[in-house]
Amino acid sequence: MAWFLVAVLTLSAVVASWKGTRIAIPVAAVLVAAWAAAAIAIGTDYRDADGFMDCWPGCTALQNVAGFVFFVSPAMLVVLSASRLAAWLTNRNKR
């Protein structure tokens, strides 16, 4: 399921950035806000959110989400930035 979510998020980031800056900026803001929320939950040990690394097989939903968001959000931000750069370069060459 996690790999499916990563694939969907990657495709969504590419489509959002290819459509233009009006969509890419809010998507980037949501990714940064989600990562910040996960980092705060992990840093303050909110309901043992920092235990996502060693909780298996008894992980809570919060631990699963915190770990997923903490690692996937930066990767999606990189995908978003790279695809936005590619879209800008291809549109620049058409003019």
| 28-38 residue pLDDT tens | 899 999 999 99
**CA dist 83 → 5, 15, 28, 33, 76 (Å):** 18, 8, 12, 20, 10
CA distance 81 to 24: 9
Percentage of the chain beyond pLDDT 70 is 95
Specify the DSSP element, H or E, that contains 46: none
- Look at the alpha carbons of 46, 50, 52, 56 in this order and tell me if their dihedral is positive or negative: negative
pLDDT of residue 11: 86
User: Which residue did the predictor score with more confidence, 16 or 83?
Assistant: 83
pLDDT of 94 over the 70 cut: no
pLDDT tens digits for range 67-88: 999 999 999 999 988 888 888 8
pLDDT of residue 16: 78
